[in-house]
């Protein structure tokens, strides 16, 4: 019997990656029906090595390393994002309107060349692995982009609740009673 192949794609930052690592660990512990793959930056290779020590070589998770600056490196270590200055602002309505344009930098902090390179690397992994299901981190823009373009069977796995994704699709009044923040 052929195992179903699942490809997880995530940022290396543990706030996001822990959810994917937990699902991988649970799948390794409960069943051997899946061929598991994880694509991320090199910082997660140790976590995958640790998980692989708990299983047989036939069930080991295959790690696909992405090269380039991580989300955190691209966002926090670049002066053009003005992250320290932004965090120092008081949480007021006035400052919120000033910070709204920065949201795209938070979601995709890479410069043009880096983003294109990450999209191409991610696309290659998705095509090479040819997974039955691709699970992506909601903040890893290159993976979301690739999945929209290639349209594999895919889903988002996030440490956030679904309510945080749907608030923008609700009318003004539904926000108050159906899924309040």
Dump pLDDT digits (tens) for 130-165: 999 999 998 899 999 999 999 999 999 988 766 565
* % pLDDT > 70, the chain: 86
Check if the beta carbon of residue 152 is closer than 8 Å to that of residue 134. yes
pLDDT band (50, 70, 90) for residue 179: low
CA separation for the pair 92, 175 (Å, rounded): 21
Which pLDDT belongs to residue 32?
A: 87
User: How far, in whole angstroms, is CA 44 from its chain's centroid?
Assistant: 13
- What does the mean pLDDT of the chain come to? 87
Which pLDDT belongs to residue 163?
A: 59
Pick the CATH number of 4-69+110-177 from 3.30.750.200, 3.60.21.10, 3.40.50.10420, 3.40.50.2000: 3.40.50.2000
Give this prediction's pTM: 0.84
Q: Where are the domains of the chain?
A: 4-69+110-177, 71-109
Which pLDDT belongs to residue 64?
A: 98
């Amino acid at each position: 019997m052929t195992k179903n192949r699942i490809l997880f794609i995530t940022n290396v930052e543990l706030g996001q990656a822990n959810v994917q690592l937990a699902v991988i660990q649970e799948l390794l512990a409960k069943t051997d029906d899946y061929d598991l793959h994880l694509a991320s930056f090199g910082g997660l290779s140790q976590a995958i090595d640790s998980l692989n020590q708990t299983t047989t070589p036939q069930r080991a998770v295959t790690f696909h390393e992405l090269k380039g600056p991580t989300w955190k490196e691209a966002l926090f270590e670049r002066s053009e994002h003005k992250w320290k200055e932004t965090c120092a602002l008081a949480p007021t309505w006035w400052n919120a309107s000033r910070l709204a344009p920065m949201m795209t930098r938070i979601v995709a902090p890479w410069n043009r060349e880096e983003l294109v390179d990450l999209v191409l690397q991610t696309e290659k992994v998705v095509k090479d692995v040819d997974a039955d299901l691709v699970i992506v981190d909601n903040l890893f823009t290159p993976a979301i982009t690739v999945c929209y373009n290639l349209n594999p069977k895919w889903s988002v796995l996030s440490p956030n609740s679904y309510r945080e994704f749907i608030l923008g699709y609700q009318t003004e009044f539904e926000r108050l009673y159906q899924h309040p923040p």
